[in-house]
Amino acid sequence: MKLAYLFVVIFHVALATSLFSPKPVHQDLHIVLHRNTVTSESALQVWSSEQSEVLYQSCSASLDSGPFEGQPIRYDVDNSGAGNITIGHRSFRVHEAQELSGGVRCERMRNQAELVVNCTASVSGASQLPPLKMYAVDDCFIKGHARWGRTTRRLRTGAILVRSQSHAKTNIHDSREYVHFTSKRQGACGTWSSNTYAVGDGDPHQNPIHIQVTDPIECDGDGSRGCDIEPDRAQSFQILYYASANLNRWIDGGFAVQQSIDTREPGTAVQCGNNDGGMVALWKKVGYTRYTVQNAMINECTGTQLSTPFQLWSPNSHDDGDWYCVYGDKVGKKGDQWREDDGPAGAPPS
């Protein structure tokens, strides 16, 4: 009887321990690899599930210290991003489809000098990580600058795509409608004329446009075809200026910009590498300058009436832009585009 009683006590203690012992908390994290493919320098960042905070950073392709000592993270990929990511004792294939990757979802983009891979994975203990107060990918690239800091925000957030249908509506159509030259009309006090001026120095900022110039291409998994994109598969797009309000007259604001620019075709095949059986598309980054302008109505009797200042975006004259390959879920339709709204201040190259 005493033995049976003791067994019941032990059972209830064990049950209570199992019920109330804290279990590992798993959280979806975004594990982002940056690599300069020329210098072989790398940086690995762990972002929160909301992709608003950096929790950890390493100047290599792996994390095996601090909170990740017990479950190290490591990327083993080639310069196209194909390969594996290892989390703890499990290895996953870098792929956009979870059923093919083994449980993670990955996206990537690359040009001839840089590679970025973003894999979303469930990691235990991540909720205990405080966000880093100071972090910068550039700190890890001593030999070569990482140019894609803003471009890769799209890979992390998945936002800011403007579909090709709205491109024609908001960009091409509006721009043609806004092209007016100085006009005059008779009023009660003589002649009125309209014009447009820069406000101060224009407060220029760089807001590049990114546009998909090919249809989605499905690459074979065994590498016999690979993912090289021939020049004739890329469509040339005319990129026009546009404004946030009706424009009396297009002006360059004193900058090296123009009313339109053609993306043209790449001179040679773009090496996108073997995508291991996924989708790939070619994109181009086109330099755009945003500057502040205002319309003016001028009367010989009453003087000048100025409108509220507004924004004018014009393609840069001497910025051919960068070609780059996009893989996975971020592959859209030919003509899709997005704009870097948080670009740095400054005039375009002259």
pLDDT of 155 strictly over 60: no
pLDDT band at 98, cuts 50/70/90? confident
If asked whether residues 153 and 60 sit together in one domain, one would say yes
Please say whether the beta carbons of 289 and 313 come within 8 A.
yes
Alpha helices in 102-183 (DSSP H): 153-157, 164-167, 174-178
Look at the chain and report how many structural domains it folds into: 2
Domain that holds residue 130: 22-157
Residues 212-254: tens digit of each pLDDT: 999 988 876 555 555 677 777 888 899 899 999 999 999 999 9
If asked whether residues 199 and 145 sit together in one domain, one would say no
What pLDDT is attached to residue 28? 85
Which one is predicted more confidently, 276 or 37? 37
Mean pLDDT across the stretch 293-321? Answer: 87
What pLDDT is attached to residue 294? 96
If asked whether residues 187 and 323 sit together in one domain, one would say yes
Of 111, 129, 157, the residue at which a domain comes to its end is 157
Q: Taking Cα atoms as reference points, which of 99, 96, 97, 46 lies closest to residue 73?
A: 46
What pLDDT is attached to residue 31? 93
Which one is predicted more confidently, 78 or 301? 78
If asked whether residues 168 and 78 sit together in one domain, one would say no
Please say whether the beta carbons of 325 and 272 come within 8 A.
yes
pLDDT of 7 strictly over 50: no
Mean pLDDT across the stretch 290-307? Answer: 87
- Within a domain: residue 5? no
Mean pLDDT across the stretch 297-302? Answer: 79
Which residues does 191 contact at the CB level (< 8 Å), separation at least 6? 184, 185, 299, 300
Two tokens, residue 328: 């996975």
> How many whole angstroms separate alpha carbon 77 and alpha carbon 90?
16
Of 98, 124, 157, the residue at which a domain comes to its end is 157
Report the chain's mean pLDDT, rounded to a whole number.
77
Mean pLDDT across the stretch 116-132? Answer: 75
Please say whether the beta carbons of 241 and 259 come within 8 A.
yes
> How many alpha carbons fall within 13 Å on the CB side of residue 114?
21
Q: Taking Cα atoms as reference points, which of 270, 335, 324, 266 lies closest to residue 148?
A: 324
Q: Taking Cα atoms as reference points, which of 94, 32, 87, 148 lies closest to residue 275?
A: 94
What pLDDT is attached to residue 140? 83
What pLDDT is attached to residue 94? 92
- Within a domain: residue 348? no
pLDDT of 36 strictly over 60: yes
What pLDDT is attached to residue 341? 87
Query: How many C-beta atoms surround the C-beta of residue 120 within 10 A?
Result: 17
If asked whether residues 171 and 315 sit together in one domain, one would say yes
- Within a domain: residue 286? yes
- Within a domain: residue 344? no
If asked whether residues 148 and 173 sit together in one domain, one would say no
Q: Taking Cα atoms as reference points, which of 248, 250, 257, 259 lies closest to residue 295?
A: 248
Please say whether the beta carbons of 185 and 192 come within 8 A.
yes
If asked whether residues 198 and 302 sit together in one domain, one would say yes
The type of residue at 179 is V
- Within a domain: residue 9? no
If asked whether residues 107 and 211 sit together in one domain, one would say no
What pLDDT is attached to residue 131? 65
If asked whether residues 211 and 323 sit together in one domain, one would say yes
Of 157, 188, 221, the residue at which a domain comes to its end is 157
If asked whether residues 36 and 140 sit together in one domain, one would say yes
- Within a domain: residue 1? no
Query: How many C-beta atoms surround the C-beta of residue 340 within 10 A?
Result: 19
If asked whether residues 265 and 139 sit together in one domain, one would say no
- Within a domain: residue 17? no
Of all residues in the chain, the percent with pLDDT exceeding 90 is 32
- Within a domain: residue 7? no
pLDDT band at 182, cuts 50/70/90? very low
What pLDDT is attached to residue 56? 87
If asked whether residues 135 and 180 sit together in one domain, one would say no
Please say whether the beta carbons of 137 and 47 come within 8 A.
no
